Structure 1
Amino acid sequence: MAKPLGERVAEALKSGEGEAALQKLLCDERAPDIAVALENLEPGQCERIFEALEHDCAGEVLTLLGPERAREIVETLRLDQFRRLLEDLPPRDAALVAAEAPEEYLEAARRDLPDVAADAEIRAAYPEGSAGRLMTNRFLRLRPEMTVAEALDLVRDTDPSIDVPSNLYAVSQAAGPSGEQRETLEGVLSIRALAMADAGQRISELMATDMVTVKAEAEDDEAANLLSTHKFSTLPALDRDGFLVGVIPGDDLMHVLVARMHRRYSRAVGTDAQAMEDATPLQAAKIRVPWLLGTMLLELGAGLVIAHYNDVLERVILLASFMPVISAVAGNVGLQTAAITVRALDTGQVSLKHRGAALLKETYVTILMGALLAAVLGGIGMVWSKDVTFALVIAIALGCSMLTAAVMGTMIPMISKKLGFDPATTAGPFETAFQDIIGFGVFLALATLML
C-alpha cells in the first residue's frame, strides 16, 4: 500500500532530494492532496515544495491552503510570479490569494486586475480569522421588481468562466451613514427556484425574506456553524450598519476551516513530536538535556531546603515517611495539568490571550481535589502519629504543594509557548522542581513551627 503523499514528501525533503526529484514526485498528484501535504510541513519546507510545482497546479494549490500557509508562500514569491498566478486563477480565487498578499503586491494587482484587487481589498479590511476575510463581492444581484425572464437573461449574460455563488440575492440601493449609496439585502432565491418559476413572475414574489446572515466582523467559525446548521451554499455578510458587503461561499469557508483543523491536529499529535521523531539520538538528547540540567539545579534547591530543616527531621522521623507521598501526589497533579494545558494550547481550546481564565479554572479544580486528598492523607497521618497537629501539617503541606504544581503546570507551558519553546519538553521538569521546592519548604516550615 502506497504511503500518503505527506509522508513521501517529508522523506524526500529529509533525504535532500533536488527540485527535479520533487517535481517527479508531485507531477501526477492532485492539487487537494498536495495542499494537505503542504499544511503539515514547516514554512521553509513548504516553500521548497511549492517551488517544485508546475505553474498550472501551483495556483490551484495556493487557493486550497489555509490563510496562514497561503500568506507564508505568497510572501516568498517574486512580483512577476505573483502576477502570473493571479492572471491564471478564477477571479474569486485570485481575490482570496491577493487578500493575503503584501501591500506592494496588492498595488500591482490594482493596476493589472482592478476587479480582483477591489474584491481583495474588501476582504483585507477585516481581521484575520473573521467572516469578512472570506466573503466575495462577486455574486449575482437581482432587483426585487425584476421579472423571472429578466433575471434569467442576467444569469445567461454572466461570463461562464467567472465562478459565482449559486444563490441569487435581491438587493436595493439605500443611503449609507455618510450619504454614499449602499446595498440593502432584500431577499434570496436559488437558481433552481428561478428556473422553475413563470417568466412573468416578479422576484419579490419568489424570494425568501426571512434570511440568515452573519456580521462580517464575526469569527469565521460562527459563519461555518450557520452554513452547516442551515445547509446553505452561501451566506450573506453584513457590516455594522446592516448593509450587504459580500457573500461567503460555502466551499471557500470549508477549505479554510479544514486547513486550520488539520494544522491544529498536526500540532496536537505534535509538530514538535514529529521533529523529535525525525531527530537522531544525539539531536534528541541535545534538545532535552538543557531542560533536565535546569531541573537538576532547581531540585538542588529542594535539597538545600531539606538540609536546612535537618534538625526537625531527626526529631520527628515520621515526617520523612510522608515527604515522598506529598511529592508524588503533587507531581502527578502537575503532570496532569501540564498535559491538559499543552493539549488545549495545541488544539486552540486555550489561547495565550485567555491564560488568566485557564489558570483560575485550574486553581478551583485543584482546591477541590486538594481538600479531599489533604483530608485523606491528614487522616492517615493522625492515625499513624496519634497527633492532630502532625495531621494538620501533612494536610496543609499537601494542599500547598498541589496548588503550586497546578499553577506551574498551567503557566510553564504557556510561558514556553510564548517564548517559542516546546511546551511538552519544558513543562514536566520545571513543574516538578518548583513543586518540590515549595512543597517541601512549606511542609518542613510548618513542622518546625507546629511540632
Structure 2
Amino acid sequence: MVELNDNTREEYIHQIVKAAIEADIDTFRTMFLELHPKDQTDVFLHLEESERKRVYESLSPDEFAEVFEGLEVEEQKEIALELNDQYAADVFNNMYADDVANFLAELKQDNVTDILKAMDKEDAADVRELLAYDEETAGSIMTKEFIAIRAEDTVSDVIELLRREGPDAETIYYLYVVDANDRLAGVTSIRDLITSVSTAKIEDIMSTRVVSVNEKTDQEEVAQLIQKYDFLAAPVVSDENVLLGIVTVDDVLDVLEEEATEDLGEITASRGSTDVSLTSFQAAKKRAPWIIMLMFFGLITAEVIGTFEETLETVVLLAAFIPMIMGSAGNTGTQSLAVSVRALATGTIEKRGLSKTILREFATGLMIGVMSGAVIALLLAVFYQDLLLGGVVGISIILSLGVASVIGTTIPLIINKLHLDPAIASGPFITTLNDLISLMIYFSVATSLIQYL
C-alpha cells in the first residue's frame, strides 16, 4: 500500500489523473488501488466530472464503495447523481448499513424509497431498520455487520467462521456470544481465540461481564462509554437484551466531532450555521433569532443605565468604565460557562459535586476580581488622583466577576436539570445577562458612595 506525503502527493495524483484522462485503465487501477482508502478519496476529489466517469468505468462497485464511504454527505449527494442506477445500487450493497443509512437520512423520502428498492432485500432491510430509529441514538449509528457466535462453538469453529464472514464484518476484534434467542450472553476477543486450544469451547473462554448499551441510548452517552472503557466497539441491545448491532470507535469519533460542533454552535449562538458550505442568507437566518433576542436584553441594559441617570450626572467619569466592567464580567462568565458545559459533558461534575464546582468557580471569579480590581484601582489613583473612584470601580469588578462566575456555572446546570442541552446557555446569552447584573452592581456601589465622590 502506497503512503502519500506532501512531497509525493502532487506527483502521484498527477500520474493517476493522467492515466484516467488517457483511459489507461490498467495503470489507473494499479496506482489507485495501491493507495489507502482515505487517500483514494482525496485523489478522487481532485478529479473533474469527466475524469470521475473514468473511475466508475475502471472500478467495480465493491472497490468504489470504500471511496464513496470516505466522502462527506454533501459530496456523496453530488457524486450519486453521476452514477447509473445499477452501479449505485451495487455500491450501496457493498457499503456498511450504517453508512448507507447516514447518507439516505439526508435525502428526500422518494429518493430513499427508490434506492432501497434497487438494493438487495437483505441489505435494504438492515438499512430500513437503522432509519427507523430516532436520530442521535445508539440504534441509529450502530452497524449490522458484526459476527455473533454461540457458547457451544469451539475455537476452531469460530476461526473458520471468521475466515468466511470476517471480510464483510466491520470489526472482528470483539466477538459477541448470543444464546438460542439471540440474547447477549458474553464476549470474547481475537486474542482469546488465538491463545486458546482449538478444541476449547467459547463458553470456557468468554467473559459474561458484558458492557452494552440500549438501542435508545443517546449517542453521546455511547461515545462516553466507549471512551471510558477504551473499547473498539460496544454491543447494542434491545429492552429484552437481544443483540441488535454494534457501535464502533470510528462512529464514536464522528459522534464526538458532531457533538463538539453542536456545542460550539450553541455556546456561540450560531447553531446550525457553523458549516462554511452554507450561503450567507442561510447562515444569517440561523443566527439572527439569537441576535434579535439579545437586542431586547440590551434594551433592559439601557433601562438600568437610565435608572441611575442621576448618579451618572453627578459623576460623569463613571460612564467611562462601563464597557470595561461589562466586558470583564461577560468574559469571566463565558469562561465559567465553558468549564460547566465541559464538566457536564465529561461527567466530572458528578464526581466532584455540584456545590464544590460552584464554590470553586465563585472563588476563582473573586480572585480574578481582586487582582483586576487592585490593578484598576491603582491605575485610577495614579492617573486620576482619585483613590475613592478607584475603590468604587475596583469593588464593582470584584463583585461582578464573582457573581458572573456563579451565573456562568449555574445556568448550564439548571438547564441540564430540565433535560435540555446545557450548551444553549450560549456565550452571548451569558455575556448579556452578566452585562446587566454587573451594571446594577456598579451603579449600586457608586450610588451608595456618591456622597464621597
Q: Are the aligned partners of 2:329 and 2:434 in contact in 1 as well (CA < 8 Å)?
A: no
Q: Give the aligned residue type for 1:115.
A: E
Shift in Å, 1:243: 2.4
- Separation of aligned partners in 1, 2:369 and 2:302: 29
Distance 1:377 1:239, change over 3 A: same
User: Shift of residue 110 of structure 1?
Assistant: 3.7
Count of paired positions: 367
Aligned to 1:253: 251
User: Does residue 248 of structure 2 align to residue 242 of structure 1?
Assistant: no
Contact 2:147 2:175 in 1 (8 A): yes
Question: Aligned pair 1:332/2:335, yes or no?
Answer: no
Q: For each residue in 1:192-218, what CA deviation from the matched residue of structure 2 results, as whole angstroms up to 9, or x when unmatched?
A: 644665554433233332333233333
Contact kept? 2:176, 2:188, Cα under 8 Å:
yes
Report if aligned partners of 1:59, 1:88 keep a CA contact under 8 Å in 2. Answer: yes
Partner of 1:144: 151
Task: Tell me: CA distance 1:258–1:145, structure 2 relative to 1, closer, same or farther (3 Å).
Answer: same
Select 1:132's aligned residue among 133, 139, 142: 139
What amino acid is aligned across from residue 142 of structure 2 in structure 1?
M
Instruction: Assess if the C-alpha contact under 8 Å between 2:149 and 2:158 holds in 1.
Output: yes
Q: Equivalent residue of 1:138, what SS?
A: coil
Q: Name the amino acid aligned to 1:312.
A: T
Alpha-carbon distance in 1 for matches of 2:194, 2:399: 72
What residue identity is the alignment partner of 1:202?
A: K
Which of residues 165, 168, 173 is equivalent to 2:171? Answer: 165
8 Å Cα contact 1:86/1:94 also seen in 2: no
| 1:101 equivalenced with 2:104 (yes/no) | yes
Match of 2:284 in 1: none
Q: Which moved more, 1:363-372 or 1:261-270?
A: 261-270
Structure 2: distance between partners of 1:62 and 1:403:
52
Tell me, yes or no, if the aligned pair for 1:401 and 1:435 is still in contact at 8 Å.
yes
Alpha-carbon distance between aligned partners in 1 of 2:393 and 2:195, rounded to the nearest angstrom: 80
Query: Within 1, Cα distance between the matches of 2:84 and 2:443?
Result: 63
For the residue of structure 1 that corresponds to 2:208, the secondary structure is: coil
Amino acid in structure 1 at the alignment position of 2:242: F
Once the two structures are TM-superposed, the CA of residue 246 in structure 1 deviates from its matched residue by 1.3
Once the two structures are superposed, the pairs formed by residues 116-131 of structure 1 within 5 Å of their partners are 116-131=123-138
After superposition, what is the alpha-carbon deviation per residue over 1:308-354, rounded to whole angstroms, capped at 9, x for unaligned? 446633xxxxxx6666567534432323434665899899969xxxx
Paired with 1:342 and 1:37, the residues of 2 have a C-alpha distance of: 39
Counterparts in 2 of 1:217 and 1:150: CA distance versus 1, 3 Å: same
1:104-151 C-alpha deviation (Å, 9 max, x unpaired): 444334422222222223333444443333322332232223344544
Partner-residue secondary structure (3-state), 1:137 = coil
Counterpart contact for 2:238–2:244, Cα < 8 Å: yes
Structure 1: how far apart are the matches of 2:242 and 2:90?
Answer: 31
Where does structure 2 lack aligned partners over 5 or more consecutive residues? 10-20, 22-30, 281-290, 347-353, 412-420
Aligned residue in 2 for 1:60: 66
**Distance change (3 Å), C-alpha of 1:76 and 1:376:** same
For the structure 1 residues 113 and 445, does the alpha-carbon distance in structure 2 shift closer, same or farther, using more than 3 Å as the test? farther
Equivalent runs, 1:35-434 vs 2, <5 Å: 55=56, 59-64=65-70, 70=73, 73-74=76-77, 78=81, 84-89=87-92, 91=94, 93-102=96-105, 103-111=109-117, 112-158=119-165, 162-166=168-172, 167-174=174-181, 183-191=182-190, 193-194=192-193, 198=197, 200-224=199-223, 226-227=225-226, 232-250=231-249, 252-253=250-251, 255-257=253-255, 260=258, 308-309=310-311, 312-313=314-315, 324=320, 328-338=324-334, 364=362, 368=366, 398=397, 402=401
TM-score calculated relative to the size of structure 1: 0.54
Question: Per the alignment, do residues 257 and 138 of structure 1 end up closer, same or farther by CA in structure 2, a change over 3 Å counting?
Answer: same
Aligned-partner SS, 1:142: strand
Describe the shift of the 1:333–1:379 C-alpha distance in structure 2 as closer, same or farther (beyond 3 A).
closer
Give 3-state SS (helix, strand or coil) of 1:173's partner.
Answer: coil
Question: Deviation digits for residues 6-51 of structure 1, max 9, x if unmatched?
Answer: xxxxxxxxxxxxxx9xxxxxx979653587999xxxxxxx9x9999
Tell me, in whole angstroms, the C-alpha distance in 2 between the residues paired with 1:442 and 1:51: 71
| Cα distance change of structure 1 residues 255 and 342 upon mapping to structure 2, 3 Å threshold | closer
CA distance in 2, matches of 1:254, 1:50: 33
CA shift, 1:184, in A, is: 0.9
Q: What residue ranges of structure 1 are gaps of 5+ in the alignment?
A: 6-19, 21-26, 39-45, 175-182, 280-289, 314-319, 351-356, 412-417
Answer whether contact 1:327 1:439 (CA < 8 A) is retained.
no
Give the secondary-structure state (helix, strand or coil) at the position aligned to 1:165. Answer: coil
Matches of 1:76 and 1:240 in 2, distance apart? 39
From the superposition, tell whether residues 79 and 407 of structure 1 become closer, same or farther in structure 2 (CA, over 3 Å): farther
Once residues 395 and 213 of structure 1 are traced to their aligned partners in structure 2, the CA distance between those partners, rounded to angstroms, is 54
Instruction: Deviation per CA, 1:251-287: give whole Å up to 9, x if none.
Output: x435525754896899899999998xxx9xxxxxxxx
CA contact (8 A) 2:373 2:398 kept: no
Measured after TM superposition, the shift of residue 393 of structure 1 is 6.8
The answer to whether the 8 A contact 1:341-1:409 is kept is: yes
Within 2, Cα distance between the matches of 1:63 and 1:347? 34
Using the size of structure 2 for normalisation, the TM-score is 0.54
Q: Which residue of 1 aligns with 2:25?
A: none
From the superposition, tell whether residues 343 and 127 of structure 1 become closer, same or farther in structure 2 (CA, over 3 Å).
farther
Does the CA-based 8 Å contact 1:264-1:346 persist in structure 2?
A: no
Partners of 2:130 and 2:140 within 8 A in 1: yes
Secondary structure at 2:187 match in 1: strand
CA 340–324 in structure 1, closer or farther in 2 if over 3 Å, else same:
same
CA pair 396-256 structure 1, distance change in 2 beyond 3 A: closer
Once superposed, what is the RMSD of the aligned Cα atoms?
Answer: 6.2
Give the 3-state SS of the residue equivalent to 1:205 in structure 2: helix
SS at match of 1:241: coil
Distance in 2, matches of 1:95 and 1:115, equals 14
Distance 1:221 1:199, change over 3 A: same
User: One-letter code of the match for 2:333?
Assistant: T
* 8 Å contact from structure 1 (residues 98, 117) kept in 2: no
CA distance in 1, matches of 2:375, 2:191: 71
